[in-house]
Amino acid sequence: MVSGANDSNTPAIVSLAAGGVAGGIEAFTSYPMEFAKTRVQLRSQKGIPTPRNPFLVVTQVYQKEGLRALYKGCGALVVGSIAKDGVRFLFFDQIKLAFADPTTGTLSPGRNLLAGMTAGVVASITAVTPTERIKTALIDDARNEKRFRSGIHATRTIWAEHGILGLYRGFAGTTLKQASATAFRMGTYNILKDYETKRNIPQNTATNFANGSVAGVVTTLCTQPFDVIKTRSQSAKGTSTAEAVKSVLIDYGVIGFWKGTTMRLGRTVFSGGILFTSYEAAVKVINPLYSGVKHKVGIEAEA
């Protein structure tokens, strides 16, 4: 049995807290790459084409608007990532218990992917779709009308104009992306850890980072079309999933569904390593604290 994300002995509250911490750290440190990827995927403004090179997007925005502009919408993503990864790790750990082999306590590769997919759907419904909607709308609005003053203001405006459904624009694309991304990311990571554990390969920071990075590459290449559709659906004005698909085909053809792959690949390799390394580290810190508090409460209750 491996530790951390693959440890059935990790208490639910620890999985939730550690996942939230890891998600917040990952979102903040990798946000400029997420910003550039989103800008590239959005439709170009008339007369102001968006550079195809996402690194050029970062450079241009930094030169014209400063570092702060590269973090437009970051607050919404960090909040969403804390909730998303808290829920994702919590449900993945709990779902694994139901899917695990009763004799060995381990999961087959197929069950690993199924557990990740289920956790991804739950995360999309509870946290990801509305926060991704706000993040994308803020990034799009910053280059057009500039009517959103903050994430909270954008939330209130979208709610007032479209109701709760406005916050769930792009739900289909987001859920497909989350289900497949979580399946590939969590599944690949745990498959690698199971493989290493059987061969007595030590689990340390370097191994965790490498496993997370490999999981990030697999995730990006397999789920990029869903990410592009999600971004188009969640622009400032919003659009349906069908309209988003149509606009991508009109603008770029089939290859357009892999728009922003370079930057997202860079981000997921980096963020995948950061996410799982942070999670493993957070579990090691939070678990003893939780056990200590639980033990103290038990003693006081007996007294």
Asked if the structure places residue 207 within a domain, the reply is: yes
Q: What residue numbers bound the domain in which 111 lies?
A: 4-295
**Looking at residue 279, which CATH number applies to its domain?**
1.50.40.10
pLDDT in tens, 192-235: 888 888 888 888 888 888 888 888 888 888 888 888 898 888 88
| Regions in the chain scoring below 70 on pLDDT | 1-10, 43, 45-52, 54, 105, 272, 292-303
Please, which residues have CB within 8 angstroms of residue 25's CB and are 6 or more apart in sequence? 274, 275, 278
The CA distance from 261 to 144, in Å, is 24
Asked if the structure places residue 288 within a domain, the reply is: yes
Displacement of CA 179 from its chain's centroid (Å) = 11
pLDDT in tens, 5-33: 444 466 778 878 888 888 888 888 888 88
pLDDT in tens, 69-83: 888 788 887 887 888
Asked if the structure places residue 301 within a domain, the reply is: no
Cross-strand pairs, 45: 48
Number of domains in the chain: 1
CA dist 207 to 41, 116, 189, Å?
Answer: 33, 21, 11
Identity of the amino acid at 291:
S
Identity of the amino acid at 271:
S
Asked if the structure places residue 300 within a domain, the reply is: no
Asked if the structure places residue 274 within a domain, the reply is: yes
Asked if the structure places residue 140 within a domain, the reply is: yes
Asked if the structure places residue 302 within a domain, the reply is: no
Asked if the structure places residue 303 within a domain, the reply is: no
